[in-house]
Amino acid sequence: MSTDVRSPLDSVRRVARFTAVMYKPHYLLYGILFVLALEGTAALVSQPEIPWRPSGATVLRIVVVAFVLLYLRMVDEQKDLDYDRVHNPDRPLVTGAVSAGELRAAMGAIAVGAIGASLVLSVASGVAIAAVLAYGVFLWAVERRSAAVRDDILLNLVVTYPVQLLVAAYVLVSAIDTGEVAAEWQTAAAVAIFAGAFLQFEFARKTSRERRPGEHLYSNRLGVAGSVAAILGFAALAVAVELVLVRPWEDSGARALIAWIPPALLLIPVYGEWRFLRSDEPEHPILPAVAFVLALYLALIGQALVCTT
């Protein structure tokens, strides 16, 4: 009789390898740009008379969000295990490169660290990040118990997307408490920019020209035309909300120039859909969707730096 007993150090190495495989550098880049762009945009639209610059609190929020995104990646790996056994057999949890117990231990350590770091900023910051972590576990429980949530991709999106809103709420609540952002209606409205940008990427990465029963694709439910319309619609929503909040027509000179960049970026998803519809490739191109998100976030950061006075 043999037992598989691993030392804590060996488990740490296995979790580190999982992180290297499943938490790609673009996840980290996304977390950094997301916090900077959201905080900067909220500062611009809520208190434009006060110059916005990333602070020590901003850096700490970036660190917390980066680790929480890893935590949510670990949750996804466990809640999608049955699906991955069929469609993604090379995933670390499927192959045994890491165990569920090791992921749960790492999640516990991340949760303690994230809440503790956030409490340094404010009590409300700690409560907000705890809500994100709790919702991640709630999603895991819901998907285990509800076949409808697991199998209906649109229902799954309705149930799972709020975790992104909770991450945004954490950034804004914390930034309000530490003084970078004012508690105005524009602050909350700015979240719609980031929702639109993320959802155009979410639909793009799960769209195919081919109908594939059993796979979680939006195009299986909406058809190719429906998915393309959703991608373009969410991109347009992000830019439309940004224009309403920032009102670039009221600026001049360098401020006006940088403030009009987001509408120009709509050419990226338009090109992506044109390329997809003209191509014979079954998979939707993902690079235009990624490029739109990253370019928009960079434009928003630059705008916040230039247009706050």
Of 85-94, 101-110, 165-174, 256-265, the range with the lowest mean pLDDT is: 85-94
Same-domain pairing of 135 and 221? no
CB atoms inside a 10 Å sphere around CB 15: 21
Structural domain containing residue 75:
9-182
Same-domain pairing of 113 and 18? yes
Instruction: Report the percentage of the chain scoring pLDDT > 90.
Output: 69
> Using CA atoms, how far apart are residues 207 and 218, in angstroms rounded to an integer?
6
Instruction: Give me 284's structure tokens.
Output: 């939707």
Angle in degrees, CA 299, 303, 307, rounded to 5? 170
280-297 pLDDT, tens per residue? 888 899 999 999 999 999
Choose the final residue of a domain: 125, 151, 182.
182
189-240 pLDDT, tens per residue? 999 999 999 999 999 999 999 888 878 899 999 999 999 999 999 999 999 9
Instruction: Give me 235's structure tokens.
Output: 């991109």
Stretch 249-270: mean pLDDT = 89
Please report whether residue 77 resides in a domain.
yes
Tell me the one-letter amino acid at 52.
W
The pLDDT of residue 129 is 98
115-154 pLDDT, tens per residue? 999 999 999 999 999 999 999 999 888 988 888 888 899 9
Mean of per-residue pLDDT scores for the chain? 92
Please report whether residue 1 resides in a domain.
no
Same-domain pairing of 139 and 81? yes
Contact (Cβ atoms closer than 8 angstroms) between residue 45 and residue 245: yes
Please report whether residue 4 resides in a domain.
no
Same-domain pairing of 249 and 128? no
The pLDDT of residue 4 is 54
Q: What is the DSSP letter of 285?
A: P
Please report whether residue 95 resides in a domain.
yes
Same-domain pairing of 142 and 221? no
Asked if pLDDT for residue 303 goes beyond 60, the answer is yes
* Side-chain half-sphere CA neighbours of 221 within 13 A: 14
Distances, alpha carbon 151 to alpha carbons 51, 72, 194, 205, 222, in Å: 47, 20, 26, 17, 15
Number of H helices, E strands in the chain: 17, 0
| In the block, residue with structure tokens 């600026």 | 251
Same-domain pairing of 140 and 203? no
Same-domain pairing of 36 and 172? yes
Q: How far is CA 161 from the centre of its chain?
A: 9
Distances, alpha carbon 3 to alpha carbons 6, 96, 229, in Å: 9, 15, 54
Asked if pLDDT for residue 252 goes beyond 70, the answer is yes
| In the block, residue with structure tokens 């296995």 | 14
Mark out the alpha helices in 179-214 (DSSP H runs): 185-189, 191-205
Same-domain pairing of 128 and 50? yes
Position with higher pLDDT, 180 vs 10: 180
Please report whether residue 90 resides in a domain.
yes
Asked if pLDDT for residue 242 goes beyond 90, the answer is yes
Stretch 144-173: mean pLDDT = 93
pLDDT band at 6; cut points 50, 70, 90: low
pLDDT band at 2; cut points 50, 70, 90: very low
Q: What is the CATH number of the domain that holds 142?
A: 1.10.357.140
The pLDDT of residue 135 is 95
The pLDDT of residue 117 is 97
The pLDDT of residue 126 is 97
Same-domain pairing of 32 and 170? yes
Choose the final residue of a domain: 156, 182, 208.
182
Same-domain pairing of 19 and 100? yes
3-state secondary structure of 280: coil
Tell me the one-letter amino acid at 109.
A
Same-domain pairing of 218 and 120? no
DSSP for 101-136? Answer: HHHHHHHHHHHHHHHHHHHHH-HHHHHHHHHHHHHH
Please report whether residue 224 resides in a domain.
yes
Q: What is the CATH number of the domain that holds 274?
A: 1.20.120.1780
Choose the final residue of a domain: 161, 182, 203.
182
Same-domain pairing of 113 and 197? no
> Using CA atoms, how far apart are residues 225 and 222, in angstroms rounded to an integer?
7
Q: What burial class does residue 253 get, using C-beta atoms within 10 Å of its C-beta: 0-12 exposed, 13-18 middle, 19+ buried?
A: exposed
32-68 pLDDT, tens per residue? 999 999 999 999 999 999 999 999 999 999 999 999 9
Please report whether residue 149 resides in a domain.
yes
> Using CA atoms, how far apart are residues 225 and 232, in angstroms rounded to an integer?
11
Q: How many structural domains comprise the chain?
A: 2
Of 38-42, 80-84, 157-161, 233-237, the range with the lowest mean pLDDT is: 80-84
